[in-house]
Amino acid sequence: MAPLVTITKHTTASNPRPHILYTLQVTEDGAKQRVVDRRFSDFVTLHDTLRDPFSIPPKRVLAAIFKPSTWVDDALIAERKAGLARYIADILRSPQYSHDPAVSQFLATETVQRPSKFDAEDALPSTLSRKAALALSAKDFTSEISTTAAAPIAAAYYPDWSASTFTPEGLDYSKFDILFFAFATPNSSSTLSFGTGSTAILQRLVKSARNSGKGTKIVLSVGGWGGSYWFSQACSNSGNRTKFVNSLVNAVNTYGLDGIDIDWEYPNSPGAGNPFNSADSANLLSLIKSLRAALGCSKIISAAVPHLPWLGSNGQPLTDVSAYAAQMDFVNIMNYDVWGASANPGPNAPLGNLCGTSKQPQASAQAALKQWTTAKFPASKLLLGLPLYGYVSQSTKTALTGSLMPSEEMLLLQKENVPTEDGETDVQFLNGAHSRPKHASREAEFAAVANLSSWWGQQIPFSEIVRSGALVKRADGNYGQGGGFTMGWDNCSDTPFLFNVSQQTVVTYDDTWSLADKAKFAKSSGMAGCFTWSLDQDDGLTLQNVIRKNLGK
């Protein structure tokens, strides 16, 4: 039986210069315990020796020391403790690697053999200047400054309704570092509910991922646009939180999961008409802290979020979310559903306010990065959400109005004539919601003219646009116009669109070019990587492959 290893503590040593030692608590035969201290570079050496497929935390010291501070130290150490614990857990779960002599030696109490030259990655960033780091390095690390994450993450949401067409057994797991299985939901008892047949699909997904040997993490996503009704209650007091945490931990243990994704849409906000409370965000933090304590540092804790941080008790976005970041591995920024179907179509997922004319300047990939990092959530823990779907509008427009205020036709949720202080009707937007797309089992009409009028007012998967013939895949792997549609491009948001004036149809979507731009943006900005909503809407693996390529994978 493989030993159990946890990493909840660390210490520092002064020789040969201030550095961090991660404390491994090794438990064998259920009782025998020992403590082993290892440097970050020791884990790197083990990884290189085994040539295993699992992920270790990326090298970050040179990126961190541009801004030395104790906060950087704390963030880096917390990130590495969680990531190193996951790495060791993956090794010990693998029959191929768990009995390797190098692993036994690594977990032994004896001192490991290290190179004579001190590794800059072991140092405390706040004690090390950039010049000193470069001088200590055994090689030139300059190229690594721009690639803060040595292994950017390419993730995707896998909804349970995908299983009939994208079976767990048929997935190419080498394309996905993390799959977020959607959804389980909180219930009125402050425990967890699964849809009919959902747990069987989850079990198949976990088994297939493990058998693939690709190291893909399976994380359970809880909530969603239609599944967040009971979140506020489940987090409202310590008793409910304890029941809810126990239910989440039980799911992780029962199904062999790699973590939990909290998809609460949204704290202190109604979302799809949900109950909410001014204390929701504070209660969410308490939930995350309890969940981290219960799961330990080896499991992923993430949350799907809108462009702005969670709303505080005053109804405004929190300005300091560092306490959340200390407990979490990622937040998943849902940069989509910015603009739905409308007589005046606009971009679903803007890259940025690129013309400086947007009336929604906070709703873009660039704005979200700034808003979350300003609130002290590290870019290295932010995953940028990319949609594999678009919207079909009944419209005769030949250009997008995505830089203007949304029109009344595309309001996605409206309260019952409740006027605001300025006399306007109070409305809410989806703001990146994980709603279920309206898939249609239509046969493609590969005629000279494509007709998408039956999709008016709806989301449309990218694969359905292709099947209709409105988009045609070219030899170079990109897509061009077809079926009587004309392709356009909105430079103000970096968004492709299709239009057919005679059919009064406009389709806004994302394609290989726009997704490549967003993946490049995430990588160059030091973000953790990208995820997609949702895997089943791709044209095979075309879009996922483009995302991976532009993340440098």
Q: Report whether the peptide linkage leading into residue 186 is cis, meaning its omega lies within 30 degrees of zero.
A: no
Please state which of the ranges 49-58, 351-360, 478-487 shows the lowest mean pLDDT: 49-58
Instruction: State mean pLDDT over 498-515.
Output: 97
Tens-digit pLDDT profile for residues 329-339: 999 999 999 99
Q: pTM value?
A: 0.72
* Amino acid, single-letter form, for residue 309: P
C-alpha–C-alpha distance, residues 106 and 12, integer Å = 19
pLDDT at 183 over 50: yes
Please report, to the nearest 10 degrees, the dihedral formed by the alpha carbons of residues 72, 75, 80, 85 taken in order: 160
Check: CB of residue 289 under 8 Å from CB of residue 327: yes
What integer pLDDT is reported at residue 215 of this predicted model?
92
DSSP 317: B
Please state which of the ranges 212-221, 318-327, 439-448, 495-504 shows the lowest mean pLDDT: 439-448
Check: CB of residue 390 under 8 Å from CB of residue 499: no
DSSP 111: P
Is residue 116 very low, low, confident or very high in pLDDT (cuts 50, 70, 90)?
A: low
pLDDT at 32 over 70: yes
Is residue 356 very low, low, confident or very high in pLDDT (cuts 50, 70, 90)?
A: confident
C-alpha–C-alpha distance, residues 400 and 402, integer Å = 5
- With a CB cutoff of 8 Å and minimum separation 6, the contacts of 159 are 182, 183, 436, 534, 535, 536
Could you identify the residue written with the tokens 């006027």?
419
The chain-wide mean pLDDT, for the chain, equals 85
Check: CB of residue 551 under 8 Å from CB of residue 403: no
pLDDT at 135 over 90: no
C-alpha–C-alpha distance, residues 147 and 240, integer Å = 42
Max CA separation in the chain (angstroms)? 77
- 20, 396, 432 from 10: Cα distances, Å: 7, 62, 38
- 125, 233, 492 from 323: Cα distances, Å: 20, 22, 35
Instruction: State mean pLDDT over 471-492.
Output: 95
Q: Where are the beta strands (DSSP E) in 29-107?
A: 32-38
- With a CB cutoff of 8 Å and minimum separation 6, the contacts of 395 are 342, 343, 344, 345, 499, 504, 505, 506
Helix axis angle for 238-255 and 280-295, nearest 10°, is 40
pLDDT at 497 over 90: yes
Identify which of 256, 243, 529, 236 has the alpha carbon closest to the alpha carbon of residue 386. Answer: 529
Instruction: HSE, CB side, 13 Å, CA atoms: give it for residue 166.
Output: 23
- 69, 235, 368, 462, 482 from 159: Cα distances, Å: 41, 24, 25, 16, 30
What integer pLDDT is reported at residue 136 of this predicted model?
52
SS3 157: strand
Structural domains of the chain, ranges and CATH numbers in brackets: 4-145 (3.30.1520.10)
DSSP 449: S
What integer pLDDT is reported at residue 156 of this predicted model?
98
DSSP 1: -
Instruction: State mean pLDDT over 324-352.
Output: 94
What integer pLDDT is reported at residue 33 of this predicted model?
85
What integer pLDDT is reported at residue 49 of this predicted model?
87
Tens-digit pLDDT profile for residues 52-80: 888 887 766 544 444 444 445 677 788 88
Instruction: State mean pLDDT over 176-184.
Output: 97
pLDDT at 117 over 90: no
Check: CB of residue 285 under 8 Å from CB of residue 303: no
- With a CB cutoff of 8 Å and minimum separation 6, the contacts of 111 are none
Residue 303 main-chain phi, psi, to 5 deg: -150, 140
Please state which of the ranges 277-291, 370-384, 437-451 shows the lowest mean pLDDT: 437-451
Instruction: State mean pLDDT over 170-175.
Output: 97
Tens-digit pLDDT profile for residues 244-263: 999 999 999 999 999 999 99
C-alpha–C-alpha distance, residues 454 and 343, integer Å = 15
- With a CB cutoff of 8 Å and minimum separation 6, the contacts of 490 are 347, 399, 400, 402, 496, 497
What integer pLDDT is reported at residue 19 of this predicted model?
84
The Cβ of residue 86 has, within 10 Å, a number of other Cβ atoms equal to 24
What integer pLDDT is reported at residue 134 of this predicted model?
52
C-alpha–C-alpha distance, residues 88 and 67, integer Å = 30
Check: CB of residue 141 under 8 Å from CB of residue 121: no
Tens-digit pLDDT profile for residues 195-246: 999 999 999 999 999 999 999 999 999 999 999 999 999 999 999 999 999 9
What integer pLDDT is reported at residue 3 of this predicted model?
85
Share of the chain above pLDDT 70, in %: 83
Please state which of the ranges 107-116, 234-243, 416-425 shows the lowest mean pLDDT: 416-425
Task: Give 274-300 as a DSSP string.
Answer: ----TTHHHHHHHHHHHHHHHH-TTSE
What integer pLDDT is reported at residue 503 of this predicted model?
97
What integer pLDDT is reported at residue 114 of this predicted model?
77
Is residue 444 very low, low, confident or very high in pLDDT (cuts 50, 70, 90)?
A: very low
C-alpha–C-alpha distance, residues 457 and 28, integer Å = 59
pLDDT at 142 over 60: no
Encoding tokens for residue 168?
């767990």
